[in-house]
Chain A
Amino acid sequence: ETGVTQTPRHLVMGMTNKKSLKCEQHLGHNAMYWYKQSAKKPLELMFVYSLEERVENNSVPSRFSPECPNSSHLFLHLHTLQPEDSALYLCASSQLTAGYEQYFGPGTRLTVT
């Protein structure tokens, strides 16, 4: 595998479910990101990890919980979501947080019913 991979690609979950999104980067990068992309809205940065430490959390509701066990893996744990959380969730990585381009995965299309 090369680049940034995300699983699953599609997820449908009820509001009481708990699920996790997984991201893996094969680029040797030190920073990883979660973004939310909703229809008709700008790209929203949710979480930033640098060297496995969270460096930014843009006021994301606690029903989203990130985890970065090592520099290659990033998870987004989901619980008691709302229908408005339905969106495309994108993972990205970069060499460092400042000054470098990011490389994106294909995204997970999440639908909350």
Chain B
Amino acid sequence: GNSVTQMEGPVTLSEEAFLTINCTYTATGYPSLFWYVQYPGEGLQLLLKATKADDKGSNKGFEATYRKETTSFHLEKGSVQVSDSAVYFCALASNSGNTPLVFGKGTRLSVIA
């Protein structure tokens, strides 16, 4: 079945550091891929998405590229801020059948000033 594996956290970075959170997936066909962010005390918010191979999703300085050859969708940001501290979830949506989103376990990011 479909699955998503993302790097274990927590990740602690200093402000203005470069961020990478790895995400790899297993799926049949051509899924859509997503990154969600959850700030403390809130629900999950869609951060960015990509629907086909080589697509790059971007939002708020974050980017992720859909790499079919490596089955990956790594999240990157060039310069993190304290306000980026949150939990980040990678997710996959199959375009066939009736299967809802499959989420990774989440990676907690803490950015310190």
Q: Please give the residue numbers on chain A whose beta carbons come within 8 Å of chain B beta carbons, in ascending order.
A: 4, 6, 31, 33, 42-43, 45, 48, 50, 55-56, 90, 92, 94, 97-107
Contact = CB atoms under 8 A, between A and B. Distances in A.
A89 to B, nearest CB: 10
Nearest to A90: B43
A106 B45 CA distance: 9
Nearest to A107: B43
A90 to B, nearest CB: 5
B97 interface: yes
Residue among B34, B44, B46 having the largest count of chain A Cβ atoms under 10 Å: B44
Contact of A106 (B42, B93, B94, B103): B42
17 contacts: A4-B43, A42-B104, A45-B100, A92-B43, A97-B100, A98-B97, A98-B100, A99-B93, A99-B95, A100-B93, A101-B32, A101-B91, A102-B44, A102-B101, A103-B46, A104-B43, A104-B44
Contacts of A92: 43-44
B3 to A, nearest CB: 12
Interface of B: 32, 34, 36, 42-46, 49, 89, 91, 93-101, 103-106
Contacts of B103: 42-43
B45 A104 contact: yes
A106 B46 CA distance: 13
Contacts of B42: 106-107
A98 B106 contact: no
Residue among B45, B96, B99, B101 having the largest count of chain A Cβ atoms under 10 Å: B101
B100 A106 contact: no
Contacts of A105: 43
Contacts of A90: 43-44
Given A98-B100, A103-B46, A42 B93 contact: no
